[in-house]
Amino acid sequence: MDVIERIVLSDVRTIARVLRDIDDEIPSARDILRELYPHTGKAHVIGFTGPPGVGKSALVDQITINYRNAGKTIGILAVDPTSPFTGGAILGDRIRMQRHFLDPGVFIRSLATRGHLGGLSKFTIDMVSVLDASGKDVIIIETVGVGQDEVEIVNNAHTTILVTIPGMGDDIQTIKAGIMEIGDIFVVNKAERLGSYQTVRELNNLIQLGAARRGPDDWEPQVLETVAVKSRGIKELYEVIEKHRSHLLGTHSEKWRQILEKRARIQLMNILKDQALSAIIERIEASGDSVDQMVQKIVDRESDPYTIVQQIIDRQLK
């Protein structure tokens, strides 16, 4: 049986190995991704985003239990841009691992930013493709909600859930800025804390402010309170997520396709940027020129990067 078949049959070891190959930028991973492509596009991709400490991991853990009880398989990618230096795993993840360790219907993987040339989002999208091809019904991407990479990652999800906690003034500001644009569901976790009601009200007010910009067929963002560590409000969250999925797939199924188009476009551009750069650099070095020499010329102010790039493009592109 070849790699592709093993992934499609959801073989855990093969999936783990291919994800590692993607992370390590092993060239053969690209061929695998190409062959896997026809098997992708079916999973419901859910993004959980929010600042550190709001309990995203606990929420994802709880939602996973709900999906498992409904007989669905899950892939989880936890993206941690706060450890860009080592590629180390998230501690919390290891704890979560334990609970689902023996369940073949759950696949969990942590991803740390490692200064990849192509950006974190490219790698995450590739990994989503692998999990998608492996037949996972639901793929959850968990990110700390800051930075452009995370915005791009969130752009890839069908359903985006913004998580906050009571009284997080600044983060409400952050959410405020983005509320119209990316949040489908807002979760106030740790809702047993003081001020939860107020945070919910603020969020609802913000959603109302955006009402004028929504058409009759548009989804109205929902606000929910949860206490993830006590499993409170999780079933309701699960139901709202499913409602959003039905909304995308139901009478408005063009929305599901729009998300797939957006994802395909980002993926195409990311791969093109990456591959074009590699191909151009290869051609530069093959022609006897050297990037190092170009860098020296720039540092010595004999030329500038804009002029050099223009020369490269004139020479290398047809």
Segment 52 to 91, residues that bind its own copies, using CB under 8 A: 52-53, 81-86, 88
Q: Which is nearer to its own copies, 13 or 300 (CB)?
A: 300
- Residue 7 lies near its own copies (rule: CB under 8 A): no
- Residue 261 lies near its own copies (rule: CB under 8 A): yes
Which 195-254 positions form the footprint of its own copies (CB under 8 A)?
none
Q: Which is nearer to its own copies, 30 or 245 (CB)?
A: 30
Let me know: does 242 contact 248? Beta carbons within 8 Å: no
Tell me, by CB under 8 A, how many residues bind its own copies: 75
Which 93-132 positions form the footprint of its own copies (CB under 8 A)?
113, 115-117, 119-120
Q: Which is nearer to its own copies, 88 or 250 (CB)?
A: 88
Task: Output the DSSP codes for 1-29.
Answer: --HHHHHHTT-HHHHHHHHHHHHTT-THH
Q: Which is nearer to its own copies, 41 or 167 (CB)?
A: 41
Contacts (Cβ under 8 Å, ≥6 apart) of 148: none
Helix H or strand E encompassing 200:
helix 196-209
Cα separation of the two ends of the chain: 42
Nearest approach, Cβ of residue 170 and its own copies (Å): 7
The correct pick among 98, 102, 169, 173 for binding its own copies (CB under 8 A) is: 173
Let me know: does 73 contact 44? Beta carbons within 8 Å: no
Nearest approach, Cβ of residue 317 and its own copies (Å): 6
The correct pick among 135, 252, 280, 289 for binding its own copies (CB under 8 A) is: 280
Taking phi over 0 as left and psi of -120 to 50 as alpha, with beta for the rest, 55 belongs to: left
Let me know: does 264 contact 129? Beta carbons within 8 Å: no
Let me know: does 203 contact 223? Beta carbons within 8 Å: yes
The residue among 273, 302, 60 whose CA lies nearest residue 159 is 60
Per-residue burial over 56-73, b = 16 or more CB atoms within 10 Å of its CB, e = otherwise: bbbbbbbbbbbbbeeeeb
The correct pick among 249, 252, 273, 289 for binding its own copies (CB under 8 A) is: 273
Supply 69's token pair. Answer: 């009880």
- Residue 182 lies near its own copies (rule: CB under 8 A): yes
The correct pick among 250, 277, 285, 293 for binding its own copies (CB under 8 A) is: 277
Task: Output the DSSP codes for 214-244.
Answer: S-TTSPPPEEEE-BGGGTBTHHHHHHHHHHH
The correct pick among 5, 181, 217, 236 for binding its own copies (CB under 8 A) is: 181
Q: Which is nearer to its own copies, 97 or 294 (CB)?
A: 294
- Residue 27 lies near its own copies (rule: CB under 8 A): no
Q: Which is nearer to its own copies, 155 or 189 (CB)?
A: 155
The correct pick among 33, 78, 139, 163 for binding its own copies (CB under 8 A) is: 33
The residue among 205, 153, 198 whose CA lies nearest residue 179 is 205
Q: Which is nearer to its own copies, 38 or 104 (CB)?
A: 38
Nearest approach, Cβ of residue 52 and its own copies (Å): 7
Let me know: does 185 contact 244? Beta carbons within 8 Å: yes
Nearest approach, Cβ of residue 109 and its own copies (Å): 18
The correct pick among 97, 229, 249, 294 for binding its own copies (CB under 8 A) is: 294
